[in-house]
A and B are shown apart, each in its own frame.
Chain A
Amino acid sequence: MQGPSTKSFRQAFLENLLVSLQLQQEHTSKHDSSSVGAAMSLHERKLAVKSSADVAMAAARGAGARWTRAILAPASSACKVQRCRRIVIRCRGRKRSLTTRSARAGDGGTSSGGEIARRLVSRRTMALREVIPGGRDAAVDEATLLREAMDYVVHLRAQVDVLRQVSEAVQRSGSSILQVLIRGLVAYVKKRET
């Protein structure tokens, strides 16, 4: 799943975080060429960190899951065509959900327990699709959705842990994020070797 060499997820995540943070900064500094020295606002920085963490998680996971593709695709492409395609797919998915919901609602008074249950379940499945990246695709059936959710939950938990450790380390040591990441990587590699 991660190619011939087996890097642990956390280490890969750290590395990716490092790279993506740098790229983010580079990206922003490139974009506002006018304010080349302007520091990013807090919100922008937060967005940068968050998106880079997500991209790092997805990349560290490898291409084996659908949600990784869903996260990475918009991050790597600024292409309008792709964006349009994504919007179209999203609309199609929403339309389908709308039609099904309305059709069901228009059913009238027949609401047996099972149908109510079914409705609840399908509504929640719809909500799960919204939450899981890549779940909005029409081609994702329920089984796949559940599997994606499982995968996503696992990696999300790891991401939260790593981010928490990084932020604690940053606060404790007072050095910058970059230093902390590098030190962490080195320590991790050393630990793995021993």
Chain B
Amino acid sequence: MDGSRAGGGSGGDYISSLLNSSPMLDFGVLGGAPALDGAGDCLDRFCGDPGFAERAARLSSFNGQRFASGLLGMPPPAPGAEFGGGSREASSVSDPGSAMKDANAKKRKAPAAKGKAKDPSVSTSGQAGEQSESDAKRCKAGDAEKKVTTAVKPKAEQTGSDSSVEDGEQKKGKGKNGKPVEPPKDYVHVRARRGQATDSHSLAERVRRERISQRMKFLQDLVPGCNKVIGKALMLDEIINYVQSLQRQVEFLSMKLATVNPLDFSNLPTLLHKDMFQACGPSASSVFSLESSSSAFPFSDQGDVFQPFVPNSMESQCTLNQLDLALSQTTNAQYGFQDGTASTNLQQQVRNYWEDDLQSVFHVDNGQSHDNGASAESFHGDLQAGQMKMEF
């Protein structure tokens, strides 16, 4: 698609990168995003929907500046205005009288480029171009019903065109409310259809609605069981239920994990001991040659990842130091609990093992494309993989 759906496609880059970042999808189509490991065995688990790929591919061709800026959390004025407008929309819904008026004014909003440029499914709305006057009249009649009964006929009214895009999943009664604050965005290049109003407000409004509808479609694919449901309210219902059930599952699983009695790190020395002494030759030398201080770590991404973990009083920036502290204190606690005598010797041993291990790990040449913190070279040997098959 061309930039005509820039608004709707504003999620293009982000969603494509989003989809790439999720472990479930591995779209070569959407290149450009960091190729995260869409491990093959995850694919079938997550999403066997081929339609997803098409939709994602379609989205990927959109420009996505606005979305990217929204990503950063510091929206430039345009999305900011839209946010303001969006938040106002809820309040404007409360005022049906004015909504009516606004809707009438907005109804003129020609879903301009809905024509050929947009969407194959929108082809029906192409014919709607001629019915502008009838649309206007119908708009006045019942704004909300229009939204609901979208499938009726391809009206040039924006809701009609929207519905043709959304295939009738259209209960966006509130979408039409006037939001005359959206400044004209320069990247929105929509071609006006004949007889349709092309003022910036209506265009922006339409763009906004399309974005929403696109995302609803995506969500429909994500949430199992949403395919049968048509209608925004029902779909939102499904989505909410799904998210809540996932959260409940997390709680249940964490409870299950918590029943493994010790959140226990006293096994750490034995574990690391085993792994350490089964390290292969090539890495062993590197391990012992790199006695540099712990602050010299190339924590390019590690730092980012672990930074937010500092709960309260971890003063040092280095992850190793954090872990070290953590370890020392936990082992202290553990040993204090277990046998009443905090064996400092063992603690020292533990600390050394951990440090050596992680040192070696992080000092392994980061020339590898995927800069994993946990390089395997120091953890060679008997992984006891037979005991556990963790499919990733």
A residues whose Cβ falls under 8 Å from a Cβ of B? 1-12, 15-16, 19-27, 29-30, 36-40, 42, 45-50, 53-55, 58-66, 69, 72, 75-76, 78, 96-97, 99-101, 103-104, 107, 110, 112-115, 117-122, 124-125, 127-128, 131-132, 138-144, 146-147, 149-161, 163-167, 169-173, 175-180, 182-193
A176 close to B251 (CB less than 8 A): no
Scoring A19, A37, A45, A147 by chain B CB atoms within 10 A of each residue's CB, the highest score goes to A147
A150 close to B142 (CB less than 8 A): no
Interchain CA distance A139-B88 in the complex, whole Å: 10
B392 close to A10 (CB less than 8 A): yes
- Interface residue SS majority, chain B: helix
Interchain CA distance A39-B193 in the complex, whole Å: 70
Say whether, besides A107-B96, A153-B246, A16 and B18 are in contact (CB < 8 Å): no
A152 close to B243 (CB less than 8 A): yes
Q: Which of B11, B265, B311 interacts with A27 by CB under 8 Å?
A: B311
A117 close to B233 (CB less than 8 A): yes
In the complex, whether B171 has a CB less than 8 A from a CB of chain A is: yes
Shortest C-beta distance, A163 to chain B (Å), equals 4
A55 close to B326 (CB less than 8 A): no
Say whether, besides A4-B301, A54-B250, A36 and B333 are in contact (CB < 8 Å): yes
In the complex, whether B383 has a CB less than 8 A from a CB of chain A is: yes
List 8 contacting pairs A-B, 8 Å CB cutoff, sorted by A.
A23-B322, A100-B91, A118-B93, A141-B83, A146-B219, A158-B24, A178-B265, A186-B379
Interchain CA distance A182-B268 in the complex, whole Å: 10
Interchain CA distance A167-B247 in the complex, whole Å: 16
A103 close to B95 (CB less than 8 A): yes
In the complex, the chain B residue whose C-beta lies closest to that of A20 is B309
* Chain A positions within 8 Å of B232 at CB level: 117, 121
A144 close to B70 (CB less than 8 A): yes
A19 close to B309 (CB less than 8 A): yes
B323 close to A22 (CB less than 8 A): yes
Q: Which of A76, A142, A176 interacts with B310 by CB under 8 Å?
A: A76
Q: Which of A63, A119, A154, A192 interacts with B370 by CB under 8 Å?
A: A192
Say whether, besides A2-B21, A160-B249, A11 and B392 are in contact (CB < 8 Å): yes
Stretch of B126-134, B160-168, B209-217, B285-293 contacting A (4+ beta carbons < 8 Å): B209-217
B70 close to A15 (CB less than 8 A): no
Shortest C-beta distance, B32 to chain A (Å), equals 12
Shortest C-beta distance, A180 to chain B (Å), equals 7
A114 close to B145 (CB less than 8 A): yes
A75 close to B311 (CB less than 8 A): yes
B282-308 CB mask vs A (1 if < 8 Å, else 0) is 000000000000000000110011101
Say whether, besides A36-B336, A121-B236, A124-B236, A188 and B392 are in contact (CB < 8 Å): yes
B87 close to A138 (CB less than 8 A): yes
Q: Which of A99, A119, A125 interacts with B91 by CB under 8 Å?
A: A99
A42 close to B254 (CB less than 8 A): no
Shortest C-beta distance, A144 to chain B (Å), equals 7
* Chain A positions within 8 Å of B388 at CB level: 169, 172-173, 180, 183-184
Interchain CA distance A114-B96 in the complex, whole Å: 10
In the complex, whether B43 has a CB less than 8 A from a CB of chain A is: no
* Chain A positions within 8 Å of B375 at CB level: 189
A45 close to B142 (CB less than 8 A): no
Interchain CA distance A154-B24 in the complex, whole Å: 8
Interface of chain B residues 205 through 258 with chain A (CB within 8 A): 208, 211-212, 215-216, 218-219, 222-223, 232-233, 236-237, 239-240, 242-244, 246-247, 249-251, 253-258
In the complex, whether B36 has a CB less than 8 A from a CB of chain A is: yes
Scoring B254, B275, B306, B327 by chain A CB atoms within 10 A of each residue's CB, the highest score goes to B254
* Chain A positions within 8 Å of B143 at CB level: 114
Interchain CA distance A142-B213 in the complex, whole Å: 11
Shortest C-beta distance, A132 to chain B (Å), equals 7
Say whether, besides A7-B371, A22-B327, A122 and B22 are in contact (CB < 8 Å): no
* Chain B positions within 8 Å of A188 at CB level: 390, 392
Shortest C-beta distance, A130 to chain B (Å), equals 9
In the complex, whether B104 has a CB less than 8 A from a CB of chain A is: no
